[in-house]
Amino acid sequence: MKYKCCDALLHKLAINPDNINFCCSPYDNKLQYLNNYNGEVIDIADYRKRREYYLNMFKSGNIPEACQNCFHVEEKDWDEEIGFKFISISSRTKCSSCDCFYCIQSLGKPEIKKELNTRQCWDIKPIIKELYNENLILKDCIYIIGGGEPTEFPQDELEYLMLVGLMSDVHILILTNGIIYNENIAKLLSVGKVSLKISIDAGTKATYQKIKRVNAYDKVMTNIKKYSQAAKNNPNGIVEAKYIICPGINDNLKEAKAFISKIKKAGCKGLEVALEYSWFNSNKNNPVNGTLRETLSYFREITKNGFGNFGDADSWVASKLEEK
């Protein structure tokens, strides 16, 4: 039976500090599962009931308000097997190693940043164990570990998540700023159980410092080289770079070309290009012109050659570049 739906509802779980959602796209509203969440073990019966409720809405053509106009919703025959192909773990908020001006948690405000860096967070391990006990982790599931900054997670928690990856069919994708080098991550890269996505957002030190508000560009590039060296003999150990386009700061061809040149020299196997989230959500219905259009076109050609993608924004970028 064909109907409009989304793979996130069927097979994804996004675990955040205060809530659990069925999806985690930064560009859209979130279809929420639990609000006012504080680390409790998930009530699996309740999860199944809530999932079934939303699934029936989609099947009847009554698309939930949070999902309307989302470019992830599509019409096709869906696999309704209960279980998770993707689990996004962003339960911690600490990121003291940099201070990105676009951070969707701190909103660029020092007082919020301080609170996030000192906040006491709950332990993810019992939640993951319960999902395994209920046989809800599907084969080749991907754990997407973000935050916060994963290399600043408590050591036992990060090691547990990586151990799960090493001893199961799970593959781990770590979203990191790349400032803190982690030997255990390098070891798992070498055996193909971890992939890294390192957000750099710049091709020059000056632009990096404007965006990240720390002086760590050289350190990040050195760490990328070290991680890439660790992963070089295993095709499943992937080191990618991320470039979040911030209009007015890094949306020019000079910066974009410098970025591509440097990440290729450092050994990256690919990239993800994104749009700065607050800008996107305010401007997604407007025409794209000028240097931003040139930069998007440049990256579009790079991704067409198989080196990367636009992630959640792929269909939006394609449609904007088709506009006259």
Q: Does residue 196 form part of some domain?
A: yes
Average per-residue pLDDT for the chain:
88
On whether residue 27 sits in a domain, the answer given is no
CA angle (24 as vertex; 23, 29 as ends), nearest 5: 80
Which whole-number Å values give the CA distances from 194 to 110, 145, 200, in the listed order? Answer: 32, 11, 19
| Phi and psi torsions of 2, nearest 5° | -90, 135
pLDDT in tens, 100-151: 888 766 666 666 666 666 667 778 888 888 998 899 999 889 999 988 898 9
Gap between the Cα atoms of 97 and 44, Å rounded? 36
Tell me the percentage of the chain whose pLDDT exceeds 90. 50
User: Which pTM was predicted?
Assistant: 0.90
Residue 65 in any domain: the answer is: no
Give the structural domain span for 162.
84-322
What does the pLDDT read at residue 299? 95
257-296 pLDDT, tens per residue?
999 999 999 999 999 999 998 898 889 889 998 999 999 9
* First and final C-alpha spacing in the chain: 37
Taken in order 88, 92, 95, 99, is the CA torsion positive or negative? positive
Look at residue 75 and tell me if it is in a domain. Answer: no
CA distance 209 to 299: 22
45 belongs to a structural domain: no
Give the pLDDT confidence score for residue 96 in this predicted structure: 79
**Residue 235 is assigned to a structural domain of this protein:** yes
In a domain, 61, yes or no: no
Q: Match 């003291």 to its residue by tokens.
A: 96
pLDDT at 107: 65
Q: How far apart are CA 101 and CA 262, in angstroms?
A: 23
Number of domains in the chain: 1
For 95, the token pair is 């990121």
pLDDT, position 25: 67
Exposure string of 217-249, with b = 16+ CB inside 10 Å and e = fewer, is beebbebbebbbebbeeeeebbbbbbbbbbbeb
Query: For position 144, which CATH number holds?
Result: 3.20.20.70
Residue 64: inside a domain: no
Strand partners, 3: 76
Low-confidence ranges of the chain (pLDDT < 70): 25-29, 104-119
